[in-house]
Structure 1
Amino acid sequence: MNKVFGYARVSTIDQNLDTQIEALEKFGCDRIFRDKISGVTTQRLALDEMLSVLREGDTVVVARFFRLGRNRDHLIYLVNDFAKRKVHFKALDVGIDTTTPAGKLILSIFASLAEFDRETILEKIKAGQLLAKAKGKHIGRPVGINQQNFEKVKMALEKQMSVAEIVNLTGISISSVKRYKKTIQLIN
């Protein structure tokens, strides 16, 4: 049987949830999850608990839309996640209801905003990489072998030292030590 879950949040301990709870009770929520915590905090126990019990066909109701997410991106993520999980969403203050055509339209606008944000971020990253490359900066893993470190690893391996011991002794990263060890084994 599908459930209707309410979610209410206030940002500080001295604020109260009364008006949100009243609206959610009036709506007829089966269970109401409550958080008294800043919106910027990434861990919200009541929200996380609610997300863990949601099933396809359930409905999430909030009295105030912006009390659901930490910020715009988090709101978009949550609403899109509800859609993927086939969970209905209603925000009483702004009239969003994903069981209606208008609500589905708003949901698709959110999905488009999220996609736009992702593409914009990727474009900025690519532009930054191209600019750095044009200025002669190397991006990513160093090219080739650091001969000095290679020799250190080679000498340590000749003394029968383990990879962990070489890392501790030289400060060379474990991935580099393993890569140099593999190269040495191929040569021999």
Structure 2
Amino acid sequence: MNQIFGYARVSTADQNTDTQIDALQKFGCDRIFQEKISGLSVQRPALDEMLLLLREGDTVIVSRFNRLGRSRDHLISLIGEFSKRGIIFKALDLGIDSSTPSGKLVIGIFAALAEYDREMILEKTRAGQILAKANGKHIGRPNGVNEENLKKVKRALDKGLSISEIVQLTGISISSVKRYRKALI
């Protein structure tokens, strides 16, 4: 038998979920999961428990759309997961119901906007990197040889130490030690 699961969350310990829970109870939820935890927190035990219990045909209801996910992307990801698993999602405050054509449209628009945002960020990042490179700025790890480390490796090699012994002694990575050794030959 399909079940209706409610989810309520507040961000701080001094807030309460009473209003959310009241709305979820009025809607007829079979089971309500609640958390008092920051939206930014990755640890969401009640949400995780609910996700494990959900089966195809079940419904997830939130009284306020923004209570479900940590971020817009997290929300879109969760709603996408619900859709793939055949789970209906409803947000009472916005009237979103993923089982209706209009609800599917709204969710599709949210997903498209999130994808557009990600693409714009990538495009701006790439443009910034190209501009920085054109202005002579180096992006990434510094090029060349760290003279101090080169001297350490040279002294160690002169003493007859192996590469693994040099790595242990100096803390310099094995690839760097090999590169320095090659530069010294």
SS in 1 for 2:116: helix
1:90 to partner: Cα distance? 0.4
Alignment match, 2:105: 105
1:146 correspondence with 2:145: yes
Q: CA deviation at 1:120?
A: 0.9
Residue segments in structure 2 that go unaligned for 5+ positions in a row: none
Secondary structure of 2:179's counterpart equals helix
Cα separation, 2, equivalents of 1:139 and 1:3: 53
Query: 1 CA distance for matches of 2:89 and 2:136?
Result: 50
Letter in 1 for 2:111: A
Question: What number of residue pairs does the alignment pair up?
Answer: 182
Length-normalised TM-score, structure 1: 0.79
CA contact (8 A) 2:11 2:36 kept: yes
Structure-1 separation of matches of 2:29 and 2:131? 53
| Conservation of the 8 A alpha-carbon contact between 1:33 and 1:47 | yes
Match of 1:32 in 2: 32
Give 1:82 shift: 2.4
Distance change in 2, residues 1:85/1:141 (3 Å)? farther
Structure 1 residues 91-140: Cα deviation after superposition (integer angstroms, max 9, x where no partner): 11211000000000011101101111110110111011112101212223
What is the distance in 2 between the residues matched to 1:174 and 1:58? 53
Q: Is the 8 A contact 1:80 1:110 kept in 2?
A: no
Report the equivalent of 2:47. 47
Q: Which amino acid aligns with 1:29?
A: C
| 2:11 corresponds to 1:11 | yes
Q: Provide the TM-score with structure 2 as the length reference.
A: 0.80
Aligned to 2:20: 20
Matched-pair contact (CA < 8 Å) for 1:39–1:70: yes
Contact 2:72 2:114 in 1 (8 A): no
Aligned equivalents of 1:102 and 1:2: distance in 2?
23
> Residue deviations 1:150-178, cap 9 Å, x none?
67546646734353x4234334234433x
Query: In structure 2, the residue corresponding to 1:46 is in which secondary structure?
Result: helix
Aligned to 2:79: 79
Alpha-carbon spacing, 1:117–1:175, altered in 2? closer, same or farther (3 Å): farther
- The alpha-carbon deviation at position 6 of structure 1 amounts to 1.0
Distance 1:58 1:157 in 2: 67
Counterparts of 1:131 and 1:9, CA distance in 2: 43
State how far apart, in whole Å, the 1-side matches of 2:175 and 2:54 are: 41
Report what 1:180 is aligned to. Answer: 179
Secondary structure in 1 matching 2:21: helix
Q: Distance in 2 between matches of 1:162 and 1:124?
A: 42
Specify every segment of 5 or more residues in structure 1 that has no aligned partner in the other structure, as ranges: none
For residue 145 of structure 2, what is the amino acid of its counterpart?
N
Conserved? CA contact 1:77–1:114, under 8 Å: no
Q: Identity over aligned residues, as a percent?
A: 66
Question: What's the counterpart of residue 162 of structure 2?
Answer: 161
